[in-house]
Amino acid sequence: MKLNIPATEKPRVVIIGGGFGGLNLIQKLKKKKFQIVLIDRHNYHTFQPLLYQVAMGGLEPDSIAYPLRKYISSKGKDMFFRLCEVEKISPEEQLVKTDKGELDYDFLVIATGSRTNYFGIESIQKNSLELKSIPHSLDLRSLLLQNLERALMTDDKDERAQLLNFVIVGGGPTGVELAGALCELKKFVFRREYHDLDMDELNIYLLEGLDRLLNGMSEKASEKTYSYLEKLGARIRLKTMVEEYDGRKIEIGEDEVIPTYNLIWTAGVEGAFPGGIDKDNIDKGNRVRVNEYCQVKDHDNLFVIGDAAAMISEENPKGHPMLAQVAIQMAKLVGANLNKSIEAKSWERFKYKNKGVLATIGRNKAVADLPSIKVQGTFAWYIWLFVHLMFLVGFQNKLVVMMNWFIGYIRYNSPLRLIIRPFKRNNDDS
């Protein structure tokens, strides 16, 4: 198989990854000056911040995804999309090697994001669920609904505990948002729809290794989040490490055992990128070390942006946080600099403009650390709604999501709790 990209006189920019970084780079590049080739293993862009709402049945998967081919075809003629997985790059030969063939480039931008980090714990990797993609969120949705249905049909108290204990590991934004949404589902929906199930048996645990939730945010945001979640009924355990999970129970501390079939791992992410990058250029967290132009050492035409990039400086000894804004701003910088390279103008250096960090816990409950002000509660929730709608790709998606939120808000319900694609896991003996 071949990628069949037509030869061109123009410089060819190959972009691996149609996430926040990849799409914003395309937006910025001067389309007439370059041939642009976008490669992604999926034919759609995923708006990851709303994955948890798909998992909790609040949104349809289609409303947080956008077809990459549609995006590319709306931007110009000398632009191509190829659905394939990049396995390796060869900076020396200026080649990208995919599972469908090879392609040479003049400029290569790696925007491949991140993957779940299990810190080498195989049992957790094998038996837990993660939340990094739309298929993951559908798995989680199905598992949740299947296990509630199963719990109705067993008289075995121990088994019911395994089915109805939901344990989220990792008190970062994803863990907190999932825990909040699950608590609200239990409170507003499950109590009504599963009237013949004792809802006091359904427990939502949130386990965090550090001494506070949302460690990347202000103390105030952490405290508020804790109290919101506690009021919603979440069982929060701080300074609690999970070191093993056999798919049936977890042991925490000296004497606490939580029987559970449902462990959702949101405790870490690490950079993800194809092979071929020199080991010396890979930093902690499996991210590629880049300079202030997002270039990889010794390769002026090789750039890494977004979650996969570690731009280490005195100000940011661990690199920038893995946030959409970092990917967007890096993409804009690389796009602007590539445009300048054609015009022989000097390049700009990356300077991250912090636009704030947000997390939502539930209805009218969010925390927002903005550069000028830190707010919590209803106002923060409105900010959260507005920002997420703004950055969602596609007008139709914005409308659908807005409608779903509105209906869900006034009716305390959503109609999306369907087991379309049943989830089967390794140790499922049903």
Ligand X SMILES: Cc1cc2nc3c(=O)[nH]c(=O)nc-3n(C[C@H](O)[C@H](O)[C@H](O)COP(=O)(O)OP(=O)(O)OC[C@H]3O[C@@H](n4cnc5c(N)ncnc54)[C@H](O)[C@@H]3O)c2cc1C
Q: Which residues bind ligand X (CB under 6 A)?
A: 16-22, 39-42, 48-49, 51-52, 85-86, 111-113, 131-132, 173-174, 272, 274, 306-308, 322-325, 327
Give catalytic status of residue 177 as yes or no: yes
CB of 194 to ligand X, least distance (A): 26
State the helix-helix crossing angle for 395-411 and 378-391, rounded to 10 degrees: 150
CB of 47 to ligand X, least distance (A): 8
- CB-nearer residue toward ligand X: 161 or 367: 367
310/282 Cα distance (integer angstroms): 8
Q: Given the structure tokens 């093993």, which residue do they identify?
A: 244
- CB-nearer residue toward ligand X: 202 or 264: 264
CA–CA distance from 123 to each of 129, 152, 216, 243, 279 (Å)?
Answer: 12, 28, 27, 9, 27
- Residue 336's H or E segment, with its range, is helix 324-342
CB of 374 to ligand X, least distance (A): 16
- CB-nearer residue toward ligand X: 65 or 234: 65
- CB-nearer residue toward ligand X: 62 or 159: 62
CB of 198 to ligand X, least distance (A): 31
- CB-nearer residue toward ligand X: 115 or 160: 115
CB of 133 to ligand X, least distance (A): 8
CB nearest ligand X: which residue? 19
149/261 Cα distance (integer angstroms): 14
State the distance between the two ends of the chain, measured CA to CA, in whole angstroms.
42
Q: What is the CA radius of gyration of the chain?
A: 23
Given 60, 130, 177, 208, which residue is catalytic? Answer: 177
Buried b (16+ CB within 10 A) or exposed e, 203-226: bbbbbbbeebbbeebeeebbebbb
Q: Which of 233, 211, 207 is nearest to 223 (CA)?
A: 211
CB of 365 to ligand X, least distance (A): 15
Q: Given the structure tokens 């559908």, which residue do they identify?
A: 138
- CB-nearer residue toward ligand X: 272 or 288: 272
Residues 6+ apart with CB under 8 A from 318: 284, 285, 310, 312
415/404 Cα distance (integer angstroms): 9
CB of 161 to ligand X, least distance (A): 27
214/230 Cα distance (integer angstroms): 15
- CB-nearer residue toward ligand X: 161 or 375: 375
Question: What are the E-state strand segments in 41-117?
Answer: 44-46, 65-67, 79-83, 86-90, 95-98, 101-104, 107-110, 114-116
Q: Which active-site residues does the annotation give?
A: 177
